[in-house]
Structures are given as C-alpha cells and as structure tokens.
Amino acid sequence: MACDLILVLDEPSPKSVEPLLKQLVGEVTWVKIGLQMYTACGPDCVREIAGWGFKVFLDLKLHDIPNTVARAVESVARLPIEMLTLQTSGGKPMMREAIKAQQAAKPSLLLLGVTVLTSMSEADLRETGVPTAPEAQVVRLATLAIDSGMSGLVCSPLEIAPLRASLSPHVRLIVPGIRPAGSKADDQTRILTPAQAARAGANYLVVGRPISQAPDPVAATRTILRDIEEASSS
C-alpha cells in the first residue's frame, strides 16, 4: 500500500517556515497547516504556501452545529487545499451536512474525520466521560464517520490495525503520532515508527518535530521516506 509523508508546519506564519520549506522542496509534497498558523494569519497563509507548490492539508477539526460546519466547509473549500478535518464527535448530522457542502463546493476535497486525539490516554478519556479504551472509542467514531459518508480518517498509529480490520480497505487513514526510532515522544502517547505505521496500513504519515527540529531536516526527511518506502514494499 502506498504511503505519503505530510510535514506539519508548527509555526505562526509562512515566513517562519519558509527556510525549512526551501530546504525540503523536492523532498516533501504535502504540508499540514493547523490552528496556530491559520488563526494567526488566516486564509492568506494557505494561499501563500500552496503557491510555493505544496499540497495543503488544512487541520481545523471543525466541530459545531451542522449548518455552521457546512457553511465553514463552503468557505474553506474556496482555498487551495486538498484535505480538511472535522471532529467525528460532532455526530452524523454534522458530518452529512459537511459532506453535502463539500460535494457542492469542491468534490475533490477530502474530508477527514478526527476520532480520538493522539495526545489522549485512556485516563484522559475517562475524565471526559468516555468509559472505554481509546481503541474502542476510535473504532466507534470511525464507523460512525464512514456510515455518514466520510472517506478518510485521522487516527493514532495504534488504531491502524483495528480500523483496517473493521472498515473498507478504500478508507484512507492519515496518521499523526509518528516518531522515528530514538525520537522523543513529546506530547504524543500512542505512537509508532514510520516503518511500523506504513506496514500497518497507513496512507499518510503526519510528522512535525522529528523533521522541523532535527539538526539536518533534509537528512531526517530522507530517512523517514526511506523507512516508508522499505516498509511499503515489504
């Protein structure tokens, strides 16, 4: 199964990531813009970075009443983005309205359902009133998302196998919480190496600090890409 790398841009502006991206032209195709950059400089940051030739995954984790989320999808669909996230805990009506808006505005846009954040442990879930283990909750929310018409999911590496076992093979899995062997876990609690995640069936691996904070980001990227390629072909 083919697996691609998505670089996380954990910075407040395109200017602050420009030196890194200049180094990685030709190495990385996809980048993820999240709340930090989007709330700092808005849609212009998406247009600027897409204009440099990168495919953009916009990670906003939309979560509101169905009509509000649908209108938000309409708005961001005008931007040069390829992927957009929603919170699956918003429920089936919200996701269905979002899909209707996406199909009308940009059929090629991939809406991704976020299940349980990779930073959350079982104890964290219990504090929010969810009595089940993260894996069970992920499968429950993922099944709800696919039943609603979503075609992609964001999940931790540890949930790749159970999702592949319970869902259609056509469902695309976008996987953060990737840490190369020897890297710090940082604020992630459910992690795998790039090779392990690719072998388990991930379609995209989302990696930030192991590349952006590496002494040599190009070398770090090439090592991850080599691990992905070897795992995908084995």
Domains located in the chain, CATH noted: 4-233 (3.20.20.70)
pTM equals 0.92
> Based on the number of CB atoms within 10 Å of its own CB, is 59 exposed (0-12), middle (13-18) or buried (19 or more)?
buried
Q: How confident is the prediction along the chain (234 residues), in pLDDT tens digits per residue?
A: 689 999 999 899 999 999 999 999 999 999 999 999 999 999 999 999 999 999 999 999 999 999 999 999 999 999 999 999 999 999 999 999 999 999 999 999 999 999 988 778 889 999 999 998 888 999 999 999 999 999 899 988 888 999 999 999 999 999 998 888 656 545 445 568 899 999 999 999 999 999 999 999 999 999 999 999 888 776
- How many of the other CB atoms lie within 10 Å of CB of 216? 11
**Identified catalytic residue from 15, 22, 55, 61:** 61
Is residue 184 part of the annotated active site? The answer reads: no
